[in-house]
Amino acid sequence: MKYRALGKTNLKVSEIGMGTWQLANDPNMWVGGDLNESIKALYKYVELGGNFIDTAWIYGYDSESQQNPTAEDLIGKFLKESGKRDNLIIASKIAPKNWNWPTLKGTLIKEVFPKEQIETLVNESLKRLGIEYIDLMQFHVWQDDWSTEDEWKETIQKITKEGKVKHWGISVNDYQPSNCLKTLDTGLIETIQFIFNIFHQKPTEKLLPYAKQNNIGLIARVPLDEGGLTGKWTGDHKFLEGDFRNDYFCKERLDELVVRTDKLKELLGKETTSLAELALRYILSFDEISTTIPGMRKVQFVESNTTISDGRKLSKELLKELKKHKWERNFYSTHDPWLKEFGFVEN
């Protein structure tokens, strides 16, 4: 496993981080998980040199029963059993008070991240994880207009002084990689988590150059496009009932995905042997990236994904060819087509 600097935090993170949205069998988004397998995946990830685990207060949260173990609960169980806390970098996220993903332009920060919300969820995450401090705490949505507000700045500095959080970041709205640049200018935010993959290359336009110039840690999420860039599906693929990808990859989109991934497969052979490898190596070929966090709740995925971290990057020729495979779209918001009007989709 290779490691990279997480911006100005002085932390060294493994190039392949562990995304944990699926870990707890989220009742509203991800189904079909095996909690014992999830724990085994955590053990295998650390055994193979992984040290960056990214989670969120909301992952696995069941608002109805509140009995379902969350991803933070499972990670806390693993940390207690393994005794590996000191070897790992734990990142989590603060959910918006109004429960709106994304946060729409014009929303007031007091509706999303008032002081009480920040403090309460930091404390709850610490309790679930069973740890004394969180290495990186991220706001789970954002609007750059909030950069001039003072309360959130004072609150995070207070929490940092208390020793509960070491570093602060932002997990930006889906497909809005530049909706954070003014906030980064405050100097209080050290990392940005954002969607980045072969299909969504927009971050290379503004965010990556800014990060390089200002030493910002970059965490690339959705590297495999919710599984689409594994290239394993056909047009008649069926997702489990309750899996959000039934909507994300509805029939016409799944058909187009297969056409596009078949074209990508024509690039395999010389530099990569699988589409998943191509997708992960694409991201790690950018020096600005600190780590990428594929979701991994099965041991086999941990084993295959971590092998990509060997220092080998794609050639300039192949990277140039991959520019032709951009597919900019936002499948998350299709049930709310008006979101673009409110600034959800970055033009």
pLDDT in tens, 83-111: 999 999 999 999 999 999 889 899 999 99
Percent of the chain with pLDDT over 70: 92
Higher pLDDT, 342 or 270: 270
Q: What is the pLDDT of residues 172-189, one digit of tens each?
A: 999 999 999 999 999 999
| Domains of the chain, each with CATH number or no CATH | 3-342 (3.20.20.100)
What tokens appear for 59 in the block? 């992952």
Higher pLDDT, 43 or 344: 43
Q: What is the pLDDT of residues 189-232, one digit of tens each?
A: 999 999 999 999 999 999 999 999 999 999 999 999 988 899 88
* CB environment 157-191: b (16+ within 10 A), e (fewer): eebbeeebbbbbbbbbbbbbbbbbbebbeeeebbb
Percent of the chain with pLDDT over 90: 76
**Lowest pLDDT segment from 72-76, 127-131, 341-345:** 341-345
Greatest CA separation for the chain:
54
Q: Which of 11, 37, 33, 13 is nearest to 22 (CA)?
A: 33
pLDDT at 344 over 50: no
Query: What is the amino acid identity at position 296?
Result: M
Q: What is the pLDDT of residues 266-295, one digit of tens each?
A: 999 999 999 999 999 999 999 999 999 999
Mean of all residue pLDDT scores within the chain: 91
Confidence of residue 345 (pLDDT cuts 50, 70, 90): very low
Contacts of 110 (CB under 8 A, 6+ apart): 151
pLDDT for 317 equals 98
pLDDT for 79 equals 97
pLDDT at 63 over 70: no
Q: Which of 125, 133, 136 is nearest to 190 (CA)?
A: 136
Q: What is the pLDDT of residues 238-251, one digit of tens each?
A: 877 777 677 777 77
d(CA 241, CA 162): 44
Confidence of residue 31 (pLDDT cuts 50, 70, 90): low
pLDDT for 86 equals 95
pLDDT at 152 over 90: yes
Tokens 């074209």, located at residue: 263
Higher pLDDT, 291 or 30: 291
